[in-house]
Structure 1
Amino acid sequence: MLEGIHYQNAYICDNIEAGIDLLRGRGMTKEPVIIPVDQTVLTASGPKRQKGRICFIWIGELQYELIENEIDEVGIYANCLSNGGPLRFHHICFRVPDWEEFRSRVDAQDFPIAMERDVTREPEGGLKFLYLDARKVFGHYIEYTWMPEPMWQNIRAM
């Protein structure tokens, strides 16, 4: 399952500040904001907690997400093996225009859902995402997101 607009490559790093420093001078034009994340996601074995820090860096039309993991009850970030460098490639992300239409096709494809979250009913609102475990074919996860246009414009402006 590959659909939507590919806009992000994501990397796991042990030290997010060091990861940011590695992207300086490589097209980064704005100082990124580090965002603390402490969330509960849905998995096949029930709700799981994930805690860490993330930042988004735009270089041209591609967003680079850096993820510093603290608590990973899902195991989705901890299983990202070292590649010998400080940034370890983890997933790509696609934005889909219609979540319900997209979601209706997810169960018919062969990649299992690793985790999912619908934030539209929560105070911060607006975002839906899920990760498919596509490692058996692509060697990495695939994230899909949906968000309202104003939220997308805010993300683009980061």
Structure 2
Amino acid sequence: MLTGHHFQNAYVTRNVDKAVAQFREQADVRSLSEIEVPVQLWTPQGEGQGVQKLAFVWVDDMQFELIQPISGDVLALYRDALPADDRLVFHHICNRVDDWAAFMARVEQQPYPVVLKGGTPGMLEFVYLDTREWLGHYVEYVWMGADRWKGMGGL
């Protein structure tokens, strides 16, 4: 299943600060925000909280999400993809959808397993599908209100 508006490429790393410095040196960064935050997540193994250090780097209309898993069993999806060193490793793309309920109904009908989901209803919701067998990577889908989209730097 591939639908929505592709706006993000996401990478995992052991060192978000180093990755941000590289983007500042080598890209025309339009906007940058960084946060270290605990998040409540669902995985097929259960629910739990994970702490991630994140950077959202906008270059033109493409967002690069840089993810450094800090703690929490629910972050295995990211931690398992980390390299031995500090480099970036591509992890997933993210597509924005307009109607979350209609989209989730379609998710129930497609063959790729849901491996992670979370968010805050009415503000931002996301789900990851394991499309690695087809595309070689995960696909994240997100819905967010217009104010949240603008607040994240979306055009």
Question: Is the TM-score greater than 0.5?
Answer: yes
Per-residue CA distance 1:8-62 (angstroms, 9 max, x = gap):
00011111110001112311134x2321121121122220322111010100110
Q: Which residue is equivalent to 2:83? A: 82
Equivalent position SS for 2:152: helix
Write the distance in 2 (CA, Å) between the matches of 1:118 and 1:81: 23
Per-residue CA distance 1:78-106 (angstroms, 9 max, x = gap):
12153977111001000000000000010
- Displacement of 1:157 after TM fit? 5.9
- Displacement of 1:3 after TM fit? 0.3
1:145 is aligned, of 138, 142, 145, to 142
Q: Which amino acid aligns with 1:60?
A: D
Q: Which residue is equivalent to 1:97? A: 98
Equivalent position SS for 2:19: helix
Q: TM-score w.r.t. structure 2 length?
A: 0.90
Q: Which residue is equivalent to 2:153? A: 156
Inter-CA distance 43–157: structure 2 relative to 1 (3 Å threshold): closer
Equivalent position SS for 2:55: strand
Q: TM-score w.r.t. structure 1 length?
A: 0.89
Across the aligned residues of Structure 1 and Structure 2, the Cα RMSD in angstroms comes to 1.9
Q: Which residue is equivalent to 2:113? A: 112
Equivalent position SS for 1:28: coil
Write the distance in 2 (CA, Å) between the matches of 1:85 and 1:71: 17
Q: Which amino acid aligns with 2:22?
A: L
Equivalences for 1:1-158 in 2 at 5 Å? 1-24=1-24, 25-30=26-31, 32-74=32-74, 75-82=76-83, 86-120=87-121, 126-156=123-153
Write the distance in 1 (CA, Å) between the matches of 2:82 and 2:132: 12
Write the distance in 2 (CA, Å) between the matches of 1:88 and 1:146: 25
Write the distance in 2 (CA, Å) between the matches of 1:106 and 1:29: 33
Q: Is the 8 A contact 1:72 1:78 kept in 2?
A: no
Write the distance in 1 (CA, Å) between the matches of 2:94 and 2:35: 18
Q: Is the 8 A contact 1:51 1:70 kept in 2?
A: yes
Q: Which amino acid aligns with 1:99?
A: W
Unaligned runs of 5+ in 1: none
Aligned-residue sequence identity (percent) comes to: 35
Q: Which amino acid aligns with 1:67?
A: I
Inter-CA distance 48–80: structure 2 relative to 1 (3 Å threshold): same
Per-residue CA distance 1:95-138 (angstroms, 9 max, x = gap):
00000000001011111001111412xxxx60100111111111
Which structure has more helix as a fraction of its residues? 2
